Amino acid sequence: MPAWSQYAAMRHDEAVCGPAGGDGVLQRQDLETRIEHLKVQVAGLGQGRALTDVQQDQLATSQKDLREATELLQDMYEANVDGLVYLPEEFLTQFVQAGPDELVDIDHDVDLAAVTGQIPDNLRRRASELLMLDDQHRFGRITADVIRSATARYEAMDARINVGMVRSKEEALKEISQLAQIMGLHHEGH
Protein backbone atom coordinates (compact mmCIF):
# COMPACT_ATOMS: atom_id res chain seq x y z
CA MET A 1 0.00 0.00 0.00
CA PRO A 2 1.43 3.42 -0.88
CA ALA A 3 2.34 5.69 1.99
CA TRP A 4 -0.57 8.08 2.38
CA SER A 5 0.02 11.20 4.37
CA GLN A 6 -1.65 11.55 7.72
CA TYR A 7 -2.90 14.90 6.48
CA ALA A 8 -4.72 13.35 3.47
CA ALA A 9 -6.45 10.80 5.70
CA MET A 10 -7.36 13.47 8.24
CA ARG A 11 -8.67 15.84 5.56
CA HIS A 12 -11.04 13.22 4.16
CA ASP A 13 -12.15 12.22 7.68
CA GLU A 14 -12.81 15.86 8.53
CA ALA A 15 -14.92 16.27 5.39
CA VAL A 16 -17.17 13.42 6.52
CA CYS A 17 -17.17 13.82 10.31
CA GLY A 18 -16.52 17.53 10.76
CA PRO A 19 -13.64 19.06 12.72
CA ALA A 20 -14.94 17.93 16.10
CA GLY A 21 -16.30 14.57 14.94
CA GLY A 22 -13.15 12.72 13.94
CA ASP A 23 -11.66 10.03 16.13
CA GLY A 24 -8.20 9.79 14.59
CA VAL A 25 -9.10 7.00 12.17
CA LEU A 26 -10.36 7.37 8.61
CA GLN A 27 -12.70 4.40 8.21
CA ARG A 28 -13.17 2.80 4.81
CA GLN A 29 -16.95 3.25 5.13
CA ASP A 30 -16.52 6.98 5.80
CA LEU A 31 -14.26 7.29 2.77
CA GLU A 32 -16.92 5.59 0.63
CA THR A 33 -19.44 8.17 1.89
CA ARG A 34 -16.98 10.95 1.02
CA ILE A 35 -16.54 9.58 -2.52
CA GLU A 36 -20.31 9.46 -3.10
CA HIS A 37 -20.64 13.06 -1.91
CA LEU A 38 -17.79 14.16 -4.18
CA LYS A 39 -19.35 12.39 -7.19
CA VAL A 40 -22.62 14.27 -6.63
CA GLN A 41 -20.72 17.53 -6.16
CA VAL A 42 -18.69 17.05 -9.37
CA ALA A 43 -21.79 16.07 -11.34
CA GLY A 44 -23.67 19.10 -10.03
CA LEU A 45 -20.91 21.52 -10.95
CA GLY A 46 -20.14 19.96 -14.31
CA GLN A 47 -23.63 20.24 -15.79
CA GLY A 48 -22.37 21.77 -19.05
CA ARG A 49 -23.35 25.32 -18.19
CA ALA A 50 -20.92 28.21 -18.06
CA LEU A 51 -19.14 28.25 -14.71
CA THR A 52 -17.84 31.24 -12.83
CA ASP A 53 -14.16 31.28 -11.87
CA VAL A 54 -15.09 30.30 -8.32
CA GLN A 55 -17.19 27.37 -9.58
CA GLN A 56 -14.36 26.26 -11.88
CA ASP A 57 -12.00 26.28 -8.88
CA GLN A 58 -14.55 24.32 -6.82
CA LEU A 59 -14.94 21.79 -9.63
CA ALA A 60 -11.17 21.35 -10.01
CA THR A 61 -10.74 20.90 -6.25
CA SER A 62 -13.62 18.42 -6.06
CA GLN A 63 -12.24 16.43 -9.00
CA LYS A 64 -8.79 16.32 -7.38
CA ASP A 65 -10.28 15.25 -4.05
CA LEU A 66 -12.38 12.59 -5.80
CA ARG A 67 -9.31 11.14 -7.56
CA GLU A 68 -7.31 11.11 -4.34
CA ALA A 69 -10.13 9.56 -2.30
CA THR A 70 -10.81 6.91 -4.96
CA GLU A 71 -7.13 5.94 -5.13
CA LEU A 72 -6.93 5.84 -1.34
CA LEU A 73 -10.02 3.61 -1.13
CA GLN A 74 -8.68 1.29 -3.81
CA ASP A 75 -5.40 0.98 -1.91
CA MET A 76 -7.28 0.28 1.32
CA TYR A 77 -9.17 -2.56 -0.37
CA GLU A 78 -6.00 -3.97 -1.93
CA ALA A 79 -4.23 -3.92 1.43
CA ASN A 80 -7.36 -5.21 3.22
CA VAL A 81 -7.29 -2.21 5.57
CA ASP A 82 -10.49 -1.01 7.25
CA GLY A 83 -9.08 2.28 8.47
CA LEU A 84 -6.09 4.59 8.48
CA VAL A 85 -4.90 6.11 11.74
CA TYR A 86 -3.77 9.71 11.35
CA LEU A 87 -2.91 10.45 14.96
CA PRO A 88 0.79 11.28 15.42
CA GLU A 89 3.12 8.37 16.16
CA GLU A 90 4.48 10.21 19.23
CA PHE A 91 0.94 10.24 20.63
CA LEU A 92 0.22 6.59 19.81
CA THR A 93 3.46 5.32 21.33
CA GLN A 94 2.41 6.74 24.71
CA PHE A 95 -0.19 3.96 24.83
CA VAL A 96 1.94 1.05 23.59
CA GLN A 97 3.51 -1.29 26.10
CA ALA A 98 7.18 -1.76 25.22
CA GLY A 99 10.24 -2.87 27.14
CA PRO A 100 12.37 -0.24 28.89
CA ASP A 101 14.90 0.05 26.06
CA GLU A 102 12.60 -0.80 23.15
CA LEU A 103 11.52 1.61 20.49
CA VAL A 104 8.14 0.81 19.04
CA ASP A 105 7.61 1.27 15.33
CA ILE A 106 3.89 1.89 15.03
CA ASP A 107 3.82 1.04 11.34
CA HIS A 108 5.34 -2.41 11.71
CA ASP A 109 5.34 -3.72 15.27
CA VAL A 110 1.81 -3.24 16.53
CA ASP A 111 -1.77 -3.59 15.44
CA LEU A 112 -3.05 -0.03 15.14
CA ALA A 113 -6.61 -1.07 15.93
CA ALA A 114 -5.36 -2.52 19.21
CA VAL A 115 -3.41 0.66 19.95
CA THR A 116 -6.31 2.99 19.23
CA GLY A 117 -8.49 0.77 21.41
CA GLN A 118 -6.11 1.47 24.31
CA ILE A 119 -6.50 5.23 23.95
CA PRO A 120 -9.47 6.73 25.79
CA ASP A 121 -12.06 7.77 23.22
CA ASN A 122 -12.32 11.33 24.53
CA LEU A 123 -8.55 11.87 24.17
CA ARG A 124 -8.46 10.32 20.70
CA ARG A 125 -11.29 12.62 19.58
CA ARG A 126 -9.71 15.67 21.22
CA ALA A 127 -6.33 14.91 19.62
CA SER A 128 -8.05 14.60 16.25
CA GLU A 129 -9.82 17.92 16.80
CA LEU A 130 -6.56 19.65 17.69
CA LEU A 131 -4.89 18.35 14.54
CA MET A 132 -7.82 19.52 12.41
CA LEU A 133 -8.29 22.95 13.96
CA ASP A 134 -5.05 23.97 15.66
CA ASP A 135 -2.20 22.45 13.65
CA GLN A 136 -1.85 25.55 11.49
CA HIS A 137 1.24 24.27 9.69
CA ARG A 138 -0.29 20.83 9.01
CA PHE A 139 2.70 19.00 10.48
CA GLY A 140 0.40 16.28 11.82
CA ARG A 141 1.89 16.61 15.29
CA ILE A 142 0.63 17.82 18.62
CA THR A 143 3.15 20.48 19.56
CA ALA A 144 3.28 23.17 22.23
CA ASP A 145 1.95 25.63 19.61
CA VAL A 146 -1.01 23.34 18.88
CA ILE A 147 -1.75 23.06 22.62
CA ARG A 148 -1.54 26.87 23.03
CA SER A 149 -3.81 27.44 20.04
CA ALA A 150 -6.44 24.99 21.29
CA THR A 151 -6.31 26.38 24.82
CA ALA A 152 -6.74 29.94 23.53
CA ARG A 153 -9.62 28.86 21.28
CA TYR A 154 -11.52 27.33 24.20
CA GLU A 155 -10.63 30.07 26.66
CA ALA A 156 -12.03 32.61 24.19
CA MET A 157 -15.40 30.80 24.13
CA ASP A 158 -18.12 32.80 25.78
CA ALA A 159 -19.93 30.05 27.63
CA ARG A 160 -21.59 32.24 30.25
CA ILE A 161 -25.06 31.94 28.79
CA ASN A 162 -25.23 28.14 28.69
CA VAL A 163 -24.39 25.76 31.54
CA GLY A 164 -23.78 22.91 29.07
CA MET A 165 -21.27 25.05 27.21
CA VAL A 166 -19.44 25.80 30.48
CA ARG A 167 -19.11 22.05 31.15
CA SER A 168 -18.00 21.40 27.56
CA LYS A 169 -15.42 24.17 27.76
CA GLU A 170 -14.09 22.90 31.09
CA GLU A 171 -13.93 19.31 29.77
CA ALA A 172 -12.12 20.44 26.62
CA LEU A 173 -9.54 22.44 28.58
CA LYS A 174 -8.99 19.49 30.93
CA GLU A 175 -8.50 17.11 27.98
CA ILE A 176 -6.12 19.55 26.27
CA SER A 177 -4.10 19.69 29.48
CA GLN A 178 -4.08 15.86 29.62
CA LEU A 179 -2.84 15.71 26.02
CA ALA A 180 -0.06 18.17 26.84
CA GLN A 181 0.96 16.03 29.81
CA ILE A 182 0.87 12.80 27.76
CA MET A 183 3.01 14.41 25.08
CA GLY A 184 5.46 15.80 27.66
CA LEU A 185 4.71 19.39 26.69
CA HIS A 186 4.83 22.25 29.14
CA HIS A 187 1.34 23.60 29.60
CA GLU A 188 0.16 26.23 32.00
CA GLY A 189 -3.45 26.31 32.95
CA HIS A 190 -6.07 23.68 33.54
Q: What is the pLDDT of residues 31-84, one digit of tens each?
A: 999 999 999 999 988 776 788 888 889 999 999 999 999 999 998 898 888 888
Q: Averaged over 6-26, what is the pLDDT?
A: 86
Spans of all domains in the chain? 1-86
In whole numbers, what is the pLDDT of the chain averaged over residues?
A: 82
Q: Which residues contact 16 (CB under 8 A, 6 or more apart)?
A: 30, 31, 33, 34, 37
Query: What angle is formed at CA 91 by the lines to CA 87 and CA 92, rounded to 5 degrees?
Result: 75
**Contact present, 69 and 31 (Cβ < 8 Å):** yes
Interatomic CA distance for residues 168 and 26, integer angstroms: 25
DSSP 47: S
Angle between helical axes of 163-182 and 144-155 (0-180°, round to 10): 170
Share of the chain above pLDDT 70, in %: 80
4 to each of 18, 38, 48, 157, 189, how far by Cα in Å?
Answer: 20, 19, 33, 35, 36
Whether the model clears a pTM of 0.95, i.e. scores above it, the answer is no
In the predicted structure, residue 167 carries a pLDDT above the cut 90:
no
In the predicted structure, residue 97 carries a pLDDT above the cut 60:
no
